[in-house]
Chain A
Amino acid sequence: MFTAQDISALQLTLKLAATVTVLLIVTGTPIAWWLARTKSFWKGPVSACVSLPLVLPPTVLGFYMLLAMGPHGPIGKLTSSLGLGTLPFTFQGLVVASLFYSLPFVVQPIQNAFEAMGDRPLEAAASLRAGPWDAFFTVAVPLAKPGFVTGAILGFAHTVGEFGVVLMIGGNIPDKTRVVSVQIYDHVEAFEYAEAHRLAAAMVVFSFVVLLGLTATKKAKADE
């Protein structure tokens, strides 16, 4: 049903999305926590930066990421000095670019969950001798669980669907950076409509299932 290249693209896509989701939960949670609780002047600017990928064309983001990761960009200089070479046209480059691209989809639901929770559960935890880390993991995280679920699903799905950033950063290298969305594009370019159809339909089904899953978790939360 799928060609070997299709399957390779599917595997690569899932690997990319899974890696990015895990990294985003790890890096996005402190950002969400800080944004939810700070009264700093920097809250506005940081929040706007996190949300930029929501409004920027992916090609714009991809273009600047390409410059930053290139041999003369700050990220490129850093990776070169660490002996890692430069990131464009590598899987790692795709991961880094996707982290920025999908950041708001993970940070915002978690931030909303932390904000909805408010200070009061943490005050109760502190009065019961829980230190800040203890309270975070035993009270804040469990109470914000629906936010984490939503963030993970949205982050994963959004990474699966990216196209513009991948083209700018990753090019179109089979088995390395050719993800499903690019593979579909290639099929269409080559007038292989049947192949394009199968992959496209698979994406439609995938997206539908994700959204259905989201509604189900929201409903479960409302029923609690």
Chain B
Amino acid sequence: MNNASGGARIVARFKLSYSGFELDARLDLPGKKITILFGHSGSGKTTLLRCMAGLIRAPNGFMAVGPDLWQDEAQGIFLPVHRRPIGLVFQDANLFPHLSVLKNLRYGMRRAGAGDARDALGSIVSLLSLEPLLGRMPETLSGGERQRVAIARALLTRPRLLLLDEPLASLDFKRKLEILPYLERLRSELDIPIVYVTHSPDEVARLGDHLVIMEGGSPLASGALAEVLTRVDLPSAFLDEAGTVLDVKVGAHEGDGLTRLDFEGGAIHVARRKEAVGQTMRCRVHARDVSIALARHDDTSILNILPATVADIGEAGTPGHVLVLLILPAGAKLLARITSRSCRLLGLKRGLAVWAQVKAVAILG
């Protein structure tokens, strides 16, 4: 089996216009891990995903996954959806209402002619904890359960590319929390690329490895998650939700109820975690939770104070604010959102050494 890993990339070029909407996207995406297509509604992210799946045929489209050409209108090539080795998960699961969960799972598995089907069924059923649901009909499932079945159903076709269209958007907060760990398991346990459409900054921070920001039908930025998140020239993308992610490792559990999380070139302290020392996890630091001081203050309740250098200053997209990009000693980046008045009064400029005061850190699991 030809897994799209390593150097194999996903190349997608689509141009499409209909009734006041225009999609114009040229993307070269990594052939592994999770690529997020992020954007507000109407930004074209779902249309782009549907083009990639072949559900929409863009007139001059091009789509290749590694060595496999799925669409190249210049050569007259267009593989219809049912001939593409994709897994597709819809916003509302879209299970077949007339088939039981097990029959839904088998529908695609059988048609994809997966060889050692029984093993695959067993392992994917347990990956998504579906054992108790197999005999049920879709209408008796909760939204979260349906979405897990839909993910399993797509995986059982042994896709070479997994496409998820806002899989959590129709779920309430509790159900989202129920599904997210499964999505994280997909990233760590599958070696196929995943393209994931969402408008939720939380999902971006939690799941993304590569990030494409869509706006007005075109990609505004495309790159590694941490790079795109720390670009201060994209004020409209995240607004209040601007921030960075840090990949950390549990360093030590300290006596007074705190846990030290280490990252390259620094450490932060958070309330006691249950994870074992050595475990890696991802944290999110909102720009609004980072403030800047010119001198190190010991007379403050803020615990996490890190030396940093101002690397860039840009519009925050919210009135009266600027976004300041800070580089920590070993290269890790933080964003700070401060008022433009503070920026002026402190005389912040590129290259200035400052102290970043981090008020809150969200652990993403």
Interface residues of A in 110-149 (CB under 8 A from B): 120-121, 123-132, 134-135, 138-139, 142-143
**A123 close to B55 (CB less than 8 A):** yes
Interface residue? B90 (CB, 8 A): yes
When chains A and B are docked, how far (Å) is the Cα of A93 from the Cα of B83?
46
Interface size on B, residues (CB 8 A): 23
Q: Which B residues lie within 8 Å of A128 (CB)?
A: 82, 107-108, 111-112, 153-154, 157
**A142 close to B98 (CB less than 8 A):** yes
When chains A and B are docked, how far (Å) is the Cα of A195 from the Cα of B88?
65
Known: A127-B81, A127-B88. A121 touches B157 (CB 8 A): no
When chains A and B are docked, how far (Å) is the Cα of A126 from the Cα of B88?
10
**A127 close to B53 (CB less than 8 A):** yes
Known: A120-B90, A134-B111. A126 touches B98 (CB 8 A): no
**A129 close to B53 (CB less than 8 A):** no
When chains A and B are docked, how far (Å) is the Cα of A17 from the Cα of B308?
86
**B112 close to A129 (CB less than 8 A):** yes
Interface residue? B245 (CB, 8 A): no
B263 to chain A, nearest CB (A): 39
A224 to chain B, nearest CB (A): 8
**B96 close to A129 (CB less than 8 A):** no
When chains A and B are docked, how far (Å) is the Cα of A132 from the Cα of B95?
18
Interface of B is mostly: mixed
Known: A129-B108, A129-B112. A124 touches B96 (CB 8 A): yes
Q: Which A residues lie within 8 Å of B139 (CB)?
A: 224
Q: Which A residues lie within 8 Å of B90 (CB)?
A: 120, 123-124
Q: Which B residues lie within 8 Å of A142 (CB)?
A: 98
Interface residues of B in 259-307 (CB under 8 A from A): none
Q: Mark B153-176, 1 if CB is under 8 A from A, else 0.
A: 110010000000000000000000
Interface residue? B351 (CB, 8 A): no
Known: A127-B154, A129-B108. A120 touches B82 (CB 8 A): no
Q: Which A residues lie within 8 Å of B157 (CB)?
A: 128-129
B104 to chain A, nearest CB (A): 9
When chains A and B are docked, how far (Å) is the Cα of A132 from the Cα of B112?
15
A30 to chain B, nearest CB (A): 20
When chains A and B are docked, how far (Å) is the Cα of A125 from the Cα of B82?
8
Q: Which A residues lie within 8 Å of B87 (CB)?
A: 127
Interface residue? B86 (CB, 8 A): yes
**B94 close to A139 (CB less than 8 A):** no
Q: Which A residues lie within 8 Å of B83 (CB)?
A: 129
A144 to chain B, nearest CB (A): 10
Q: Which B residues lie within 8 Å of A138 (CB)?
A: 107
Interface residues of B in 98-152 (CB under 8 A from A): 98, 107-108, 111-112, 139
Interface residues of A in 151-193 (CB under 8 A from B): none
When chains A and B are docked, how far (Å) is the Cα of A219 from the Cα of B143?
26
Known: A120-B90, A134-B111. A126 touches B96 (CB 8 A): no
When chains A and B are docked, how far (Å) is the Cα of A132 from the Cα of B108?
14
Q: Which B residues lie within 8 Å of A132 (CB)?
A: 82
Q: Which B residues lie within 8 Å of A121 (CB)?
A: 94, 96
When chains A and B are docked, how far (Å) is the Cα of A131 from the Cα of B82?
6
Interface residue? B59 (CB, 8 A): no
When chains A and B are docked, how far (Å) is the Cα of A138 from the Cα of B90?
20
Q: Mark B53-96, 1 if CB is under 8 A from A, else 0.
A: 10100000000000000000000000011110011101000111
- In the complex, the chain B residue whose C-beta lies closest to that of A126 is B81
Q: Which B residues lie within 8 Å of A124 (CB)?
A: 88, 90, 94-96
Q: Which A residues lie within 8 Å of B94 (CB)?
A: 120-121, 123-124
Interface residue? B329 (CB, 8 A): no
Give me the interface of B with A, judged by CB distance under 8 Å. 53, 55, 80-83, 86-88, 90, 94-98, 107-108, 111-112, 139, 153-154, 157
- 23 residue pairs of the A-B complex, CB under 8 angstroms, read A123-B55, A123-B88, A123-B90, A124-B88, A124-B90, A125-B96, A126-B55, A126-B80, A126-B82, A127-B53, A127-B81, A127-B86, A127-B88, A127-B108, A128-B107, A128-B108, A128-B154, A129-B83, A130-B107, A131-B82, A134-B111, A139-B96, A224-B139
18 new A-B contacts, CB < 8 A, other than A124-B95, A134-B111, A224-B139, are A120-B94, A123-B55, A123-B90, A125-B82, A125-B107, A126-B80, A126-B81, A127-B53, A127-B82, A127-B108, A127-B154, A128-B154, A129-B157, A130-B108, A130-B111, A134-B82, A142-B98, A143-B96
